[in-house]
Chain A
Amino acid sequence: MIYKFLSDLPKKDYPVVIFGSGPAGISLALKLEKKKINSLILEAGEENYSEKSQESYLSNVIGDDITDLRYSRLRQLGGTSGHWGGWCKPIENWNLKNWTVNIDKINSYSKEASEILNIDLKFNKTKINNHFNQIQFQYSNVRFAEKFKDHIHNSKYIDLCLNSQISHFIGEKQLIKEAKVISKKKVFFIKSKFFILACGGVENSRILLWTKEKNDNLINPILPIGKYWMTHPWFLGGVGFLKKTKMENMLNEDFLKYEGPIHFATSQKLIEEKKILSGAIYMNADEDNKFHKEIIKSFLCVSPEYGKKIARMLFNKDLKCGNIFLNLEEAPNENNKIVLDKRLKDENQIPISNIHYKKSKKTLYSAKIILENLATLFIQKKLGRVAVKENIADLNYYENLGVHHHMGGTRIGDDKNNSVVDNNLKVHDANNLYIAGSSVFTTSGYANPTYTIVKLSLKLGDEISDIINKKL
């Protein structure tokens, strides 16, 4: 059933309570439902978009510009899947090498995750040379609220309550006893055996930090809660043109045909050789002729003879020609962190989050090296030409086109000095508190996070049901 307020909920006794109804929370509840385990999802927002609810994401950014959380997150049923782009891609196995979780174990949930996200389990990759692969994303059209609202409404095992904001957990001696929840300005204390925080890449840290402040001995003080926060810098790296037929002929049957931009990704060899961070390259396939002409004009200025030949190719539409965007990995940095504001609180008297964020020179240096190597590849294989923005590596010229992926803050690991949750996503030294969502990512890789978020939630569902079944 779906309830509007916590006061409407007839039953208050659930073995598992999940905070947040985004992809992480709903995927987990669906997994528990398969195992016939009851769960309650508490969603802080309403069923649909509300500006008032979005105001809870008010936060201060100290340092470099990131997109306002009120625009990049959604506090409503289904969470940010209500307006996400739908791009899905598994994190490369070599990007997961610093994760302590078994990679095969995560990947064993790929099929189940792809069914939730309505995507094909086809993430083909074609080697172009030692440094680059052509890669394939899958596009998910799933809005979790639309897809699962009726299912949850009719479910015997899942109850969901809207307008219910968690403030903090209460407990002692490593055991959470209850959660303080505010619904329609009334305070409720929800008891359960298992508490799962799935509120998003910033909120998870905020609630955990507030829990730490409100309890003397519940959360281990050495845990770096909120630290190692990461995003995927998304920005314009340059322009270029690519002879599509030439590339198709070069790769033969391995050429990945799909609509939209051509996607390249750095290989493990390139990042190891050059000591850079990984990245995905989106070569735009925009059919805007005016913009094509601008690029060809720019090229004609530097290479009149070859430029004329290329200009002729515009007419037979064999050119992929346009902007080159980059989605880059960011190195985990202890100083990029979420902390609680000391003065400002939201309407439920929870301190708002302050995000300390600085881009690193290494990120932009990586962008420069990646595009220089792409330019070399295009020349050597006679695929086309690339132009790189002159100031690409200069932090002062960086233009954020949208930072929507929020990762880290409660990362996975064995060492309590640099991680918050263990391999089973349980908060270190807290017996019944778990975290789901991208805040547990140890490193970010270059891939969009949602597919991995869903896989980790499914894995967590199995862990919890195993514990419950053992106890029975």
Chain B
Amino acid sequence: MLKNRRFFLKNFFSGLFLLNIFLIIPYNKIQSQIKKLKKKKNKDLIWYLDESD
């Protein structure tokens, strides 16, 4: 039972790790590439900003 639980946890976390590598990181990268420019007006100027600004 304990062995099975360890096996399950091991697989669960390594799965998460793989998910992280194959899905989350590339997804973030793609997200940063398709970020749209924000535009904000101050007086008669339009500032072009990053989403994180």
| A interface residue numbers (CB < 8 A to B) | 238-239, 298-299, 301-303, 305-306, 372, 375-376, 378-379, 385-391
Contact = CB atoms under 8 A, between A and B. Distances in A.
B53 A306 contact: yes
B44 A391 contact: yes
Given A375-B37, A387-B47, 8 more contacts: A303-B40, A375-B48, A379-B49, A385-B48, A385-B49, A388-B48, A390-B46, A391-B44
Interface centre among B41, B44, B45, B50 (most CB of A within 10 A): B45
B43 interface: yes
B48 A372 contact: yes
B45 A390 contact: yes
A376 B46 CA distance: 13
Contacts of B47: 298-299, 302-303, 385-387
A389 B48 contact: no
B50 A239 contact: no
Contacts of B44: 389-391
B42 interface: yes
B45 A387 contact: yes
- Going nearest first, the 6 A-B pairs with the smallest beta carbon separation are A375-B48, A302-B40, A387-B45, A303-B53, A387-B47, A306-B53
Contacts of A302: 40-42, 47, 49, 53
Nearest to A304: B53
Nearest to A310: B53
Interface string B24-46: 00000000000001001111111
A350 to B, nearest CB: 45
A298 B48 CA distance: 12
Contacts of A390: 41, 44-46
B44 to A, nearest CB: 5
B49 A298 contact: no
A378 B50 CA distance: 10
A303 to B, nearest CB: 4
A202 to B, nearest CB: 34
A239 B43 CA distance: 12
Contact of B48 (A306, A387, A391): A387
9 contacts: A239-B45, A298-B42, A302-B49, A303-B47, A306-B52, A372-B48, A389-B44, A390-B41, A390-B44
A239 B42 CA distance: 12
Nearest to B41: A390
Contacts of A386: 47-48
Contacts of B43: 298
Contacts of A238: 45
B43 to A, nearest CB: 7
Nearest to A374: B48
A225 B37 CA distance: 47
Nearest to B45: A387
Nearest to B52: A306
A390 B43 CA distance: 9
Contacts of B49: 302-303, 379, 385
A298 B49 CA distance: 13
Contacts of A301: 42
A239 B37 CA distance: 17
Contacts of A379: 37, 48-50
A238 B41 CA distance: 12
Nearest to A386: B48
Contacts of A299: 42, 47
A390 B46 CA distance: 6
Contacts of A306: 52-53
A310 to B, nearest CB: 10
Contacts of B37: 375-376, 379
A298 B45 contact: yes
Contacts of A305: 53
A306 B43 CA distance: 19
B14 to A, nearest CB: 35
Given A303-B40, A375-B37, A389 B45 contact: yes
Nearest to B35: A379
A388 B46 contact: yes
B33 to A, nearest CB: 9
Contacts of A298: 42-43, 45, 47
Among B43, B44, B46, B50, the most chain A Cβ lie within 10 Å of the Cβ of B46
Contacts of B50: 379
Could you say which of B44, B50, B53 has the most chain A C-beta atoms within 10 Å of its C-beta?
B53
Contacts of B41: 302, 390
B27 to A, nearest CB: 19
B45 A376 contact: no
